[in-house]
Copies of this chain bind each other. A is one copy, B any other.
Amino acid sequence: MTLNTRGLRAALLAGALALAAQAPARAADEAEVKDFLLDNGMEVVVIPDHRAPIVTHMVWYKIGSADEPPGKSGIAHFFEHLMFKATSNHAAGEFDRAVADIGGSNNAFTSYDYTAFHETVPPSALEQMMGFEADRMRNLVLTDDVIKTERDVILEERRSRIDGDPQAVLDEEVDATLWQNQPYRIPVIGWMQEMEQLNREDAKAFYDTFYRPNNAVVIVAGDVDPDAVKAMAERTYGKVARGPYLRPRIRPVEPEQNTRRTVTLTDARVSVPSFSTQWVVPSYHTAKPGEAEALDLLAEILGGGNRSRLYQQLVVKQGIASEAGAFFQGTMLDATNFTVYGSPRGDARLGDVEAAVDAEIARIAKDGVTDDELERAKTRYVRSMIFARDKQDDMANMYGSTLATGGNVKDVEEWPDRIRKVTAAEVEAAAARYLVLDRSTTGYLLPQQQAGN
């Protein structure tokens, strides 16, 4: 029941996963990934991985916070919570206990473009998991009491995770300043005043529209046989009737940005100042061929870890920053963001760190990257993928997030080749085109005494 936010802090914590989400096509044993549709429109992807007697089972619904009706922010995440309540066949908590009893684990998360539920269990329990998931896809019992109780939970979650954390408060307003039209401006957890109003009618309408087999993708990664999985899926999910036609997910698009924007939060709870600058850039789903791959490598070269230019220049060489980096959120349905960030060390000032980051950006936009640097970045990417390949749940996440944001199995499989084809000129062009300071959005988190920066 975690919330998958995109703020700077969240992105850093999720760094490993972000890379994993770009991992190559095949599981460790190189067995072929199978992809099929049930008659009710549900897509099923099977990733054989026989190294251990375990299976990761995920249901991805193509519904996230960016699909919420106006004024109903938070309902996608609220619904993630409600999915753990009683159904007409199972009491609340019964599914969780069944997982715990067999030594498995389970959870769920909500993001802008999807909501996912997952269990990791022995293969012998897979059909039971499918049965539970198929059951709660349609048979939730949504009473006013259930709504009220769980609404209090998400309100408290917002209070503790957002309102109690200056970085989270800032991130929300930076996002809403970066995105002026596209719904990524709305926080996944929702705006408090709208969360407070969510009711049973809203929940029922949301459930009946989006929790349908034709709006879901099942990912099964593990020690399983694809044909057996297909038979199990037909016996469980296959019994759920197809839902009504769902319109294509066409959302309001961001207008061109013409200004430089800043958002500053000064708070007594902050001890070390920090900044992050964001730009609107295309995602894998919206980019022209090769452009998102170039942005991925640009992020890697500029600020993707200890070998990156920002780290080497600011942290190692100049010694003015305690942290400095860059990242690109490629796996999104709509246009996404490219971010650089930094924080001073010792006597250095935030302004010095920001100027040094800007200088590195200017340099890469003007002079580009070297072929050698690019090759090393590609190698680092591939290496991190090999690592990711070893993690069954990362493999499942990679397929699930791609399929839930407009991609397909082939997109995942061909991705490493597309990365290998990126040229230095393409990386330079991406930097020059997108990383323009006069069209950026910067968030500043400042300690009380440092007001005014």
Residues of A bordering B, CB below 8 Å: 70-71, 73, 169-170, 173, 176-177, 180-181, 183, 185-186, 191-194, 250-253, 255, 257-266, 438
Contact = CB atoms under 8 A, between A and B. Distances in A.
A31 B251 CA distance: 52
Contacts of A73: 181, 252
A159 to B, nearest CB: 13
Nearest to A255: B191
Contacts of A186: 181
Given A181-B186, A191-B255, A173 B71 contact: no
8 contacts: A71-B250, A71-B251, A73-B252, A170-B259, A176-B181, A260-B264, A261-B263, A266-B438
B252 A70 contact: yes
Given A177-B177, A181-B176, A191-B181, A259 B265 contact: yes
Given A170-B259, A177-B177, A177-B261, 18 more contacts: A70-B252, A71-B251, A71-B253, A73-B252, A169-B259, A173-B259, A176-B181, A177-B180, A180-B185, A181-B186, A181-B191, A191-B253, A192-B255, A194-B252, A258-B265, A260-B265, A261-B263, A264-B438
**Which among A257, A259, A260, A265 has the greatest number of chain B C-beta atoms within 10 A?**
A259
Contacts of A71: 250-253
A60 to B, nearest CB: 24
Ranked 4 nearest A-B pairs via Cβ: A176-B180, A71-B252, A191-B255, A260-B264
A201 to B, nearest CB: 13
Nearest to A443: B259
A70 B66 CA distance: 12
